[in-house]
A and B are shown apart, each in its own frame.
Chain A
Amino acid sequence: MKHFLLKLGLLALIVFVVDKGFLLLRAEAARHASDPRLSQILEGEINKDLLIFGSSRGQRDVSLPMLEDSLGLDAFNLSYGGAEVEFQTFLLQEVVRHCEPPQVIIRLLDDDFELGFNEPNQFRYDALYPLVEYEEVREELYRRGKKNRWLSKVLVVHQLSKAAFDLRTPPRPNAMVAEYGSETAVAPWNSTWEYVYGRPPYDRQVELAEKKEAFATFQEICSDNNIQLIYVVPPSYKEMSNGFLARMREMAGPDVPILTYDLDDPAWSDSANFRDRYHLNTPGAEKFTRELLPELRTLINRKASSPDPITDRASAEVPDME
């Protein structure tokens, strides 16, 4: 027995010593992350006036140069393709922790799976895995049960994932992506989908408690940091779900406005403005941004002219776009 335990102890010691070599790989992995935005947040480099949050629709459906020019605010896009509300809330937590909180956040809502499960929209662990060098990232992975806290403290290799071994140099972002965090899609309509008229009633049964909690937390963080939050529902190649909109209004409460596209505009049932069923192409994104700008300007100016944010919120008129 003694010999057996000695052998096990020696094996554990060898594993422990060799494991420390993985510190080099951990540092290297962070430098090979394909999307630099999260590490920019953690390094305190995202100090902007206006931030966009959302999924791929947040990435594609608004034109940041137009927003910046028109609103006079330094804008940056923190939308991640396939990212759901929990991931967006994690990003916001890190933004306010490491960077100057923005004046305004525009968050694009995913009609109609914002609060429910949707296979393509998930927590973007893949964005976290290369960055385990940062304690905040590791904490989030522990919190979400993806890594074990105690094993991670003993073994560096447990902090890593397969992604750490992908040491290919990621392609450099083009000038637009580097400056704004995203770009609109120039790709034309590429789908056989027919426009969908009529939507089934919104089903609250599919809502997930953790997503509702993240939704509320996102708002709380904005409120606590005096950030003006504006929700936007972008067009899809289908009719707007009134049930979804009503539910979002209920979740947002009276203080947070929700802007939608012009529901009567035939352009939003014209495939020429879409890349696919869920995403706009560049002409569509520019048109949608133009459509949003007057309302955004009004809301932001009203907030800027109010000395007391609480009074301001209380008196804000929630526009009804329907």
Chain B
Amino acid sequence: MDFGIFLPIVFVLYWFVLGRHYRAQNLLIAVASYIFYGWWDWRFLSLIFFSTCVDYLVGRRLAHTEGPGPRRVLLTISLVINLGMLGFFKYYNFFVDSFVNAFTFFGSPVDARPLAIVLPVGISFYTFQTLSYTIDVYRRKLEATRNFIDFSAFVSFFPQLVAGPIERANNLLPQFYHPRTFNERFATDGCRQILVGLFKKVVIADSCAVLANDIFTNYESYNSATLALGAVFFAVQIYGDFSGYTDIAIGTARLFGFDLMKNFDFPYFSRDIAEFWRRWHISLSTWFRDYLYFPLGGSRGSKGRTVRNIFIIFLVSGFWHGANWTFVIWGFLHACFYLPLLLFDLNRNHTDTVAEDRWFPSLSEALKIALTFALVTFAWIFFRAENLTHAMSYIGHMFGGGLSEPFGFQTLKPLNLLFVPFMGLLFLWEWVARRREHALDGFGARVPVRALRWSVYVGIIFVVIIFSGGEQQFIYFQF
């Protein structure tokens, strides 16, 4: 609701008051973004400002430094400061706990206590975004910006500040250098994408959350079939939650004339894990590809070296999500699922869209999609679990027999299942739109009857409002 007031105010100021002065618009975006971030927790504004200053100054110095040694030193300064802050706020307690547990396990208990550290919202996202700038400037792929306001607006750009997409400096930053003109088609599409995002988040993800939370909390009391269903609910929840946020972010950016990168490309229609990772959280996986996998040698070396690199990026990707072994195991599982594809050179088998020229997938494609979804859903159990014991116990109960028993759980009530037809509708709609940017992309052209089109918009608005009230925080805000 607060965002519903904030957005029109910024929109009006941006286009109507400052429309002719793009530098002033950039300043407005920076100020609005700081207000937006400070709304959550003003204490951490200094962190994002500090990170912005560091990378701006490092970028400026890099622009005037030619020698590889000094350039490397400058890059190291940026990496140490940015990753140091991320490490302290996100991972300090994890390492303390892990060391204490390890020493205790080997019979030498140590006394080290965790600190009461609050994780700043979105720190993992904006840290990676600023790093992409410094690394690109270091690699001479991007010219260092001279304007601090432009750079501040890029780092703190409010539509995607707290949960991505993790924008590349070479895609987003140059957009701040030029005047933006209002493009009605672009803005209208942005509104449609916001609508889709709200639908995914409020109607699908939040409804799934009620059921998934119940099943994951009370898993010991439920049968195998119910636990398997709980994992599916979480798989749908996290997709609706995260891709919904991304849709809102991209749509909002479009209202201001900015084009953000695609972050989800209908990942649950993937035919193998490699394709899944080309379609899920694209901005993070390509970040790791460009700034970690390629520098490690990528797939250019021996098979063994490629396997090592794959495991490294999946493990680091898991660890990026949170300071918990569950995320590391989640990444490890995905690496294991990826491994056979890599070993048999099948990892680039599915670079096209499934059933490209057909309405329905073939039986073989449908089976592959189902298998991929099952593997991904299994791995989500680790992602959702509180800790490894919880995850292992959940899986133990899930495979403990009774898959043929009927579902049964506390929240199994007609009102809680009201979202199921909408969930079916969403996936059906996404299937139809699977070659496009989002479910309502190009809706105007696809449904030329305006009355019908507007009925759909009004219907979605009402459904979203009716389902609102039990909002859960976006899962990815915690990362």
A3 partner, pick from B1, B15, B184, B454, beta carbons under 8 A = B184
Measured between beta carbons, the chain B residues less than 8 angstroms from A165 are 415, 418, 466
Could you mark each residue 438-479 of chain B with 1 if its beta carbon is under 8 Å from any beta carbon of chain A, else 0? Answer: 000000000000000010011001100111110000000000
Whether A158 pairs with B15 at a CB distance below 8 angstroms is: no
Known: A11-B458, A18-B458, A151-B1. A158 touches B415 (CB 8 A): no
Judge if B236 is at the interface, Cβ distance under 8 Å. no
Could you mark each residue 307-324 of chain B with 1 if its beta carbon is under 8 Å from any beta carbon of chain A, else 0? Answer: 000000000000000000
User: How far is A19 from B463 in the complex, measured between Cα atoms in Å?
Assistant: 12
Distance between A96 CB and nearest chain B CB, rounded to angstroms? 28
User: How far is A272 from B423 in the complex, measured between Cα atoms in Å?
Assistant: 47
Whether B469 pairs with A147 at a CB distance below 8 angstroms is: yes
Measured between beta carbons, the chain B residues less than 8 angstroms from A197 are none
Judge if A166 is at the interface, Cβ distance under 8 Å. yes
Judge if B187 is at the interface, Cβ distance under 8 Å. yes
Of chain B, the residue at the smallest CB distance from A1 is: B182
Distance between B208 CB and nearest chain A CB, rounded to angstroms? 14
B469 partner, pick from A8, A155, A161, beta carbons under 8 A = A161
Q: How large is the interface on A (under 10, 10 to 19, 20 to 34, 35 or more residues)?
A: 20 to 34
Judge if B299 is at the interface, Cβ distance under 8 Å. no
Judge if B274 is at the interface, Cβ distance under 8 Å. no
A166 partner, pick from B15, B188, B415, beta carbons under 8 A = B415
Whether A158 pairs with B465 at a CB distance below 8 angstroms is: yes
Judge if A280 is at the interface, Cβ distance under 8 Å. no
Distance between B236 CB and nearest chain A CB, rounded to angstroms? 18
Judge if A162 is at the interface, Cβ distance under 8 Å. yes
Of chain B, the residue at the smallest CB distance from A10 is: B454
Judge if A157 is at the interface, Cβ distance under 8 Å. yes
Choose among A4, A15, A151, A158 the residue with the greatest number of B CB atoms under 10 Å from its CB.
Answer: A4
Distance between A133 CB and nearest chain B CB, rounded to angstroms? 16
Measured between beta carbons, the chain B residues less than 8 angstroms from A8 are 191
Measured between beta carbons, the chain B residues less than 8 angstroms from A160 are 466
Can you name 19 A-B pairs with beta carbons within 8 Å?
Answer: A1-B15, A3-B184, A4-B182, A11-B454, A11-B457, A15-B458, A18-B458, A18-B462, A119-B217, A146-B469, A157-B466, A158-B468, A160-B466, A161-B466, A161-B469, A162-B418, A162-B467, A165-B418, A166-B414
Chain B contact residues, CB within 8 Å of chain A: 1, 15, 182, 184, 187-188, 191, 217, 414-415, 418, 454, 457-458, 461-462, 465-469
Q: What 6 pairs between A and B have smallest CB-CB spacing? A: A148-B1, A4-B184, A162-B415, A1-B182, A157-B465, A158-B465
